[in-house]
Amino acid sequence: MKRAFLITLGSIFLYAGPLHAGDRIYHGSQHQLAVDIPRVAEATITLDGDLSEPHWAYAAVLTGFTQAEPVEGASASERTEVLIFYTPAALYIGVRAHVSNPSRLRATLAERDKILRDDHIQILLDTFYDRRQAYALYVNPLGIQQDGIHSEGAGRRREERVDFSPDFLFQSRGRVTSEGYTVEIRVPFKSLKYGTADPKSWGINVIRSIAATGAEESWAPLSRGNPSRLAQSGTLVGIRDLRPGTLLELNPTLTGKRDGNLQDGRFQHGGFEPDAGLNLRWGLTSNLMLDATLNPDFSQIEADAGQITTNERFAISFPEKRPFFLEGTEIFATAEPLVYTRTIINPLAGAKLTGKMGGLAIGYLGALDESTLTGGTLSYAPAPQRALFNLVRLQQDIGSGSSVGLLVTDREAGDEYNRVSGVDTRVRFGGVYTLQLQAAGSATRMWVPEEGARDTARIGESIVAVAPRELAGHLLHTSVDRTGRRWGFRLQMKDIPHDFRAQSGFLRRTDVTDFFWAQRLSFFGPPGSVLEGTTTFVTGNRIYTGRSFWAGGEADEGSIGSRTAFSLRGNNRISVGYSNRFFVLDPVRYAAYQFTDSEGVVRTGESAVRPNREMRGLDGFSVDLNSSYFKTVSVGAEAKWEEVPIFAEGTRGEEWSARGELGLRPTDALRVEASLSHSRLFRSESGSLYSRATLPRLRLEYQLTRAIFLRTIGQYNLAETDLLRAPDATVYLLSGEPFRIRRGRFAAADAPQTNPLRMDLLFGYQPSPGTVVFVGYGREMEDREAFRFSPLEPRADGLFVKLSYLFRNG
């Protein structure tokens, strides 16, 4: 005890800053945003949420918060004080958050990265001081963490600027008091990348969110008229002599699974399949990080949330979850996503280098993929090979908020390849305007089906004649944004011909020239009013397929619409929308369909669709509401009616859809999330039902401690479609047989429309990122008749175990 006291006393005397309390208080409301942060030689603080230890008395104090929401610039509704100092090894942050009505404080013992519905503190650390990207560290009143990377980007809504996929190692503890709550945070410098200059300046802001009212209160005043939150942040000055040591992390993983499935009418289980992997992180310098992996696991511990796709034409993306791929993801981001790491399906090994040297951000990713799928689809190569990925990214900062970048991707699989090279730039001007430009070219060699070709490939049980094909294409993207307080707009054009391929990226659609525009008008109510603000968006687009735009042709799709959102006091929101769309269908896509007309003549679907190929005046109406007014209940609901093309058969339809969400937090440790999506699609001419879909999902989670949780998820997927029919309701035939579209694929008429029910159970222990124990079981069953639940026939199940431990030096 005596030794600890002497260390504390000595470190205080080693502090070289001023000792007068008034000199260390920085009022954000008075624009005192340059913080001379105290340096302490050594700190012996016990992180427990108690700010009474001696070192905190010598910290700089950030106070004088102002509202960013709902009333910009108004005095904060609650008093907040942030204490901050650093040692050679770590940054220390303490928070005193006063609450005038403690009964309305929202704090749960949540799972990590699940705290945004609680009261919470957000800390933005711009360690390269470039006003472009920052670490975003969140803590709730109990010290539960959430983290990510905040990136400034044109056209992004504020909630989209933080990528919560990456995890960073820092420590935090909090406690609820009679006056509010206090939090202690320690951020090791080993967990951060930062510039090599000495002394250093870092950008900083602290934002407090109050869940009961939806208020955001910021230390550095924030204006909606400035599109960059980071440009409005304060500054930590005089950071010097950091000695975090070299970072070295080893993260071995051990997984095992035992799967079962239905074979020949019997449910059978295979043997237990163990697997091992290793992740490595090495901080080459304070600003460069090397990551390597051997046989990484997929980190998918439960099913993705279902989406209704009965009338969906294009692919749907899902977020990346594998730790190796999450470091430095912001470096590879471009306006059109030419890097989408889930295309690397089953990597055997990989290496990645990310960081920033001065104003130059660099990124390299290489991986060997055992999967023979090409961009997530089947390869038609006669002898499919493993794929080797190499991705290179450079981005140079220019001036304040502008940049220019280069991206090169290469995917090689035997004699197939896809190579993409592109440049992009982002230019901020006039305070509220942002221009983005992106251009890329691709060269691709791939095998494709070709009747009469001499080479063949086995696809499932079929032998298909195939031939190699070489493609070359380009991608162009340009957009300009105005992000003002009351008025904003976006103009965008992208041109992606059919032959452009990005097998390392994700493009929902090619063979289009797409023009989009949006206008926004916002109005804000006076302080204390029931209507806190309204925002109206008016949007429109025109889409030209093929090269029709450049040949002077007409648009094939288009829309104009508006949506008005009302923000009400107490964290409630209501919005209403209207849209008017048109589509021009290409009859050629229905040429393989056949039907017999009323005169007994066999005709093709092309002739049936051609008279109705133009579908204009397709109206749509929607209304949705969201409320977090009550402490333990949150609700969301949406209802929509719209006229739509039924793309699979080329007819006009009317779709009624609804979505509902309910969140319950009856105790600090128990969370219940229920959702229900429903859709019915009718043919306009006959009124017959083309499809119906219902997706209920229930998630129950109990948090035993900060690190231990139990979770169960149940999800049912009803998605039924009628046989495809011509506009006169005559059944279409394909190869002489009636058929339907079943979950995006052609299916025979007599194929059973089973309704899968999936249940997932999970035990998790996760004391910190990288150290986990997961034991889970998932089972999928078929319900022959919708929602009868009798009999439920097992289709597949799986038991899995995952163990990993993060070894970190120092």
Closest C-alpha among 731, 806, 723, 719 to residue 757: 719
Which residues sit opposite 439 in a β-bridge? 423, 476
- pLDDT in the model for residue 312: 53
- Contact in structure between 627 and 212 (CB atoms under 8 Å): no
Each residue's pLDDT tens digit, 670-705: 999 999 999 999 999 999 999 999 999 999 999 999
- pLDDT in the model for residue 794: 86
Lowest mean pLDDT among 46-50, 127-131, 376-380, 564-568: 376-380
Q: Residue 61's domain spans which residues? A: 2-239
- Contact in structure between 239 and 86 (CB atoms under 8 Å): yes
- pLDDT in the model for residue 374: 67
> Once rounded to an integer, what is the mean pLDDT over residues 412-425?
96
Q: What is the mean pLDDT of the chain?
A: 90
- pLDDT in the model for residue 786: 85
The CA distance from 734 to 591, in Å, is 10
The CA distance from 235 to 99, in Å, is 27
Instruction: Output the CA angle 704-710-713, nearest 5 degrees.
Output: 145
- pLDDT in the model for residue 753: 82
User: CA dihedral in degrees (43, 47, 50, 54; nearest 10)?
Assistant: -10
- pLDDT in the model for residue 367: 97
- pLDDT in the model for residue 597: 85
- pLDDT in the model for residue 591: 93
| Residue 207 CB contacts under 8 Å (≥ 6 apart), including other chains | 68, 121, 122, 124, 216, 217, 218, 219, 222
- Count structural domains, the chain: 1
> Once rounded to an integer, what is the mean pLDDT over residues 101-114?
92
Q: How confident is the model at residue 304 (pLDDT cuts 50, 70, 90)?
A: low
> Once rounded to an integer, what is the mean pLDDT over residues 368-373?
86
> E strands, 358-400, where?
360-369, 387-398
- pLDDT in the model for residue 6: 43
Q: Is residue 619 part of a domain?
A: no
> Once rounded to an integer, what is the mean pLDDT over residues 379-405?
93
CATH code for the domain of 66: 2.60.40.1190
Which residues sit opposite 429 in a β-bridge? 433
CA 565 from chain centre, in angstroms, equals 23
Q: How confident is the model at residue 2 (pLDDT cuts 50, 70, 90)?
A: very low
- pLDDT over threshold 60, residue 23: yes
> Once rounded to an integer, what is the mean pLDDT over residues 356-384?
87
- pLDDT over threshold 80, residue 156: no
The CA distance from 222 to 233, in Å, is 8
- pLDDT in the model for residue 234: 97
- pLDDT in the model for residue 155: 44
Each residue's pLDDT tens digit, 632-671: 999 999 999 999 999 999 999 999 999 999 999 999 999 9
Asked, as a colleague might, if the bond just before 794 is cis with ω within 30 of 0, I would say no
Q: How confident is the model at residue 4 (pLDDT cuts 50, 70, 90)?
A: very low
- % of the chain beyond a pLDDT of 70: 93
- pLDDT in the model for residue 309: 52
Q: Is residue 423 part of a domain?
A: no
Q: Is residue 449 part of a domain?
A: no
Q: Is residue 200 part of a domain?
A: yes
Q: Is residue 627 part of a domain?
A: no
> Once rounded to an integer, what is the mean pLDDT over residues 558-579?
96
Q: How confident is the model at residue 126 (pLDDT cuts 50, 70, 90)?
A: very high
> Once rounded to an integer, what is the mean pLDDT over residues 142-153?
92
Lowest mean pLDDT among 248-257, 269-278, 374-383: 374-383
Q: How confident is the model at residue 630 (pLDDT cuts 50, 70, 90)?
A: very high
Residue 96, amino acid = R
Q: Is residue 212 part of a domain?
A: yes
- pLDDT in the model for residue 160: 55
User: CA dihedral in degrees (89, 251, 146, 257; nearest 10)?
Assistant: -170
* Sheet of strand 171-177, all strands in order from the earlier edge strand to the far edge: 25-27, 60-63, 80-86, 90-98, 180-188, 171-177
> Once rounded to an integer, what is the mean pLDDT over residues 573-597?
94
| Residue 23 CB contacts under 8 Å (≥ 6 apart), including other chains | none
The per-residue b/e assignment along 494-503, b for 16 or more CB within 10 angstroms, e otherwise, is: bbbbebbbbb
- pLDDT in the model for residue 158: 52
Q: Is residue 126 part of a domain?
A: yes
Q: How confident is the model at residue 754 (pLDDT cuts 50, 70, 90)?
A: confident
- pLDDT over threshold 70, residue 759: yes
- pLDDT over threshold 70, residue 544: yes
Each residue's pLDDT tens digit, 189-215: 999 999 988 999 999 999 999 999 999
Q: Is residue 724 part of a domain?
A: no
- pLDDT over threshold 60, residue 547: yes
Closest C-alpha among 776, 752, 755 to residue 764: 776
The SS3 call for residue 323 is helix
- pLDDT over threshold 60, residue 21: no
